[in-house]
Amino acid sequence: MPSQLSRIVITGVGLTAPNGNNLSEFRQALLQNKSGIKHKDIRHMGKVAAGFCNFDETKHQSRKARRRGTRVGATSIYCANESLLDSNIELSMVDKSKIGIYLGITEHGNVETENEVHLLYQNDLNTSFWSHHHNPRTVSNNPAGEVSLNLKITGPAYTIGAACAAGNMGLIHACQMLRLHEVDIALAGGVSESTETFGIFAAFGAQGALGEHSNPELATRPLDIDRSGIVVSEGGAIFTLERLEDALKRNAKIYGEIIGYHVNSDASDFVLPNSERQKQCINATLKKAHLEADDIDIVNLHATGTVQGDIQECQAVRETFNLNPGSNTHINFTKGLIGHAMGAAGALELAGNLPSFEDNFVHPTGYLNHIDEKCVLKNLVGKTKVQKEVDTILNNSFGMLGINSSLIVQKYRK
């Protein structure tokens, strides 16, 4: 065991989002305020606004394997393969037992169970129609397991249930495993197939928290006074992580270095957020990174588009950062353009900001026309991208049952 913590860097990114199927497409869509939200008919719900991805499910797996697997498994396989290709790691040259797969999820198994029950009722409750693939499709480790099978990776492969903080949690757990030298390479991030289940739409609708609008692109408007709730999206973002010394040995491209993270719990409510606990999470992350609040260049808000969620987070950020007109910290969020990708949200939102280290732009927030006075933040990047030198990004991801996560990535410095 090394006497000091290893430096952990990002050397590959693979993703699919409602407005892009790789980092370059995704980044350009964010910079251009291009939404990925559309209307679609959902079983039992009718027409809803949601974010659907359009990637090639069989680019990295056979059609037979796809039929046996799941949508979230296909998303995971696509993102993992694209991330490895981006990292220029040749699997035949590394020990596959020293590769870990750590994928954050909100929930899993709902899609297959809903489909099986629907088929059951379409066939007079004849249980012979219940698929023999149901069990391996619905176990919670399925997404990571499908990646393991696809890439023949024999190291630890599992999912991390952390509600909408899960994308960050996949990365955090990977950092810990790399620093423990349990693995030498980690495929980590978050994935979601939430748009495939009517239940999540119905549940948010019952809460009065489902985003709606005749123009689907206006259904998700975090921080806007006219926001109506969450727009459910699918997607995934998987990063290749390595210890810095290993990345340097092979002359890898380094997107950034993870320098701080923290996780805590509200312990106060099933769904209502707690701004004080969120503030504590952010401050603990800053402390671990040995940074002050003024050292952060971009804060990416969780910003779901729910009234209390937005207000509580903005309060936590306002009280943490010195957001005066001369402040170096700029604020943005991503859900205004892609909706809420649940377990994939934090990972996608981090990926969307990573290119700022190279192009020195802060991407805008989407359709924020009339800000809620309780959500006012100085240096909030609205409809137009902002140019500035970017060295640090803080990514907030918070979830139901009060789980909070914050993570800081820094531009790589020797």
Q: Is residue 272 domain-shared with residue 338, that is, in the same domain?
A: yes
Query: Of 213, 262, 340, 363, which residue is the catalytic one?
Result: 340
Q: What is the mean pLDDT of residues 327-354?
A: 96
pLDDT digits (tens, 9 = 90+) for 212-232: 999 999 999 999 999 999 999
Q: Is residue 390 domain-shared with residue 279, that is, in the same domain?
A: yes
- Do strands 46-51 and 37-42 pair parallel, antiparallel, or not at all (unpaired)? antiparallel
On the question of pLDDT at 37 being above 90, the answer is yes
**Using 50, 70 and 90 to split pLDDT, how confident is the model at 1?**
very low
* Calpha distance 224→373 (Å, rounded): 9
Please report, for residues 216, 223, 376, the alpha-carbon distance to residue 30 in angstroms, rounded to integers and kept in the order given: 17, 17, 21
Q: Is residue 245 domain-shared with residue 385, that is, in the same domain?
A: no
- Which of 195, 227, 249 is at the close of a domain? 249
- Tell me what the pLDDT averaged over the chain comes to: 96
- Which of 229, 249, 269 is at the close of a domain? 249
Helix (H, G, I), strand (E, B) or coil at 292: coil
* Calpha distance 176→94 (Å, rounded): 20
Residue 350 in any domain: the answer is: yes
* Calpha distance 139→393 (Å, rounded): 34
Whether 164 is catalytic: yes
- Terminal C-alpha separation, the chain: 23
Query: Of 173, 302, 330, 363, which residue is the catalytic one?
Result: 302
Beta strands in 266-359 (DSSP E): 298-300, 330-332
User: 11 near 87, Cβ under 8 Å?
Assistant: yes
* Calpha distance 138→69 (Å, rounded): 10
Whether 302 is catalytic: yes
Looking at the DSSP bridge assignments, the partners of residue 386 are 362
* Calpha distance 98→137 (Å, rounded): 25
Could you tell me the residue range of the domain that residue 204 belongs to? 8-249
The DSSP symbol for 7 reads: P
**Using 50, 70 and 90 to split pLDDT, how confident is the model at 322?**
confident
Residue 285 is predicted with a pLDDT of 98
Phi, psi of 244 (to 5 degrees): -55, -45
* Calpha distance 261→215 (Å, rounded): 37
Number of domains in the chain: 2
Helix (H, G, I), strand (E, B) or coil at 302: coil
Q: What is the pTM of this model?
A: 0.97
Q: Domain holding 210: CATH number?
A: 3.40.47.10
Residue 405 in any domain: the answer is: yes
How many Å separate Cα 245 from the centre of its chain? Answer: 27
Q: Is residue 228 domain-shared with residue 377, that is, in the same domain?
A: no
* Calpha distance 281→303 (Å, rounded): 16
Q: Is residue 41 domain-shared with residue 138, that is, in the same domain?
A: yes
Query: Of 164, 175, 314, 375, which residue is the catalytic one?
Result: 164
Helix (H) or strand (E) holding 203: helix 198-207
Residue 96 in any domain: the answer is: yes
Residue 188 in any domain: the answer is: yes
Q: Is residue 29 domain-shared with residue 171, that is, in the same domain?
A: yes
User: 310 near 304, Cβ under 8 Å?
Assistant: yes
Residue 325 is predicted with a pLDDT of 61
Q: Is residue 244 domain-shared with residue 266, that is, in the same domain?
A: no
* Calpha distance 304→185 (Å, rounded): 32
On the question of pLDDT at 263 being above 90, the answer is yes
In this structure, of 32-41, 272-281, 380-389, the range with the lowest mean pLDDT score is: 380-389
Helix (H, G, I), strand (E, B) or coil at 119: helix
Residue 199 is predicted with a pLDDT of 96
User: 105 near 190, Cβ under 8 Å?
Assistant: yes
Residue 255 in any domain: the answer is: no
pLDDT digits (tens, 9 = 90+) for 125-168: 999 989 999 999 999 999 999 999 999 999 999 999 999 999 99
Residue 1 in any domain: the answer is: no
How many Å separate Cα 273 from the centre of its chain? Answer: 19
Q: Is residue 316 domain-shared with residue 197, that is, in the same domain?
A: no
Q: Is residue 391 domain-shared with residue 266, that is, in the same domain?
A: yes
Whether 314 is catalytic: no
- Which of 249, 282, 314 is at the close of a domain? 249
Residues listed for the chain: 414
Select from 224, 165, 187 the least CA-distant residue to 395: 165
- Do strands 185-192 and 157-161 pair parallel, antiparallel, or not at all (unpaired)? unpaired
Q: Is residue 235 domain-shared with residue 271, that is, in the same domain?
A: no
CB atoms within 10 A of CB 325: 6
Q: Is residue 140 domain-shared with residue 194, that is, in the same domain?
A: yes
How many Å separate Cα 282 from the centre of its chain? Answer: 18
Q: Is residue 201 domain-shared with residue 119, that is, in the same domain?
A: yes
Please report, for residues 12, 74, 76, 94, 155, the alpha-carbon distance to residue 66 in angstroms, rounded to integers and kept in the order given: 24, 7, 12, 26, 22
On the question of pLDDT at 304 being above 90, the answer is yes
Residue 218 is predicted with a pLDDT of 96
* Calpha distance 303→93 (Å, rounded): 42
Q: What is the mean pLDDT of residues 76-105?
A: 97
| 373 against 322, higher pLDDT | 373
* Calpha distance 165→398 (Å, rounded): 5
Residue 286 in any domain: the answer is: yes
* Calpha distance 236→341 (Å, rounded): 8
Tokens 């009234």 belong to residue? 307
Residue 161 in any domain: the answer is: yes
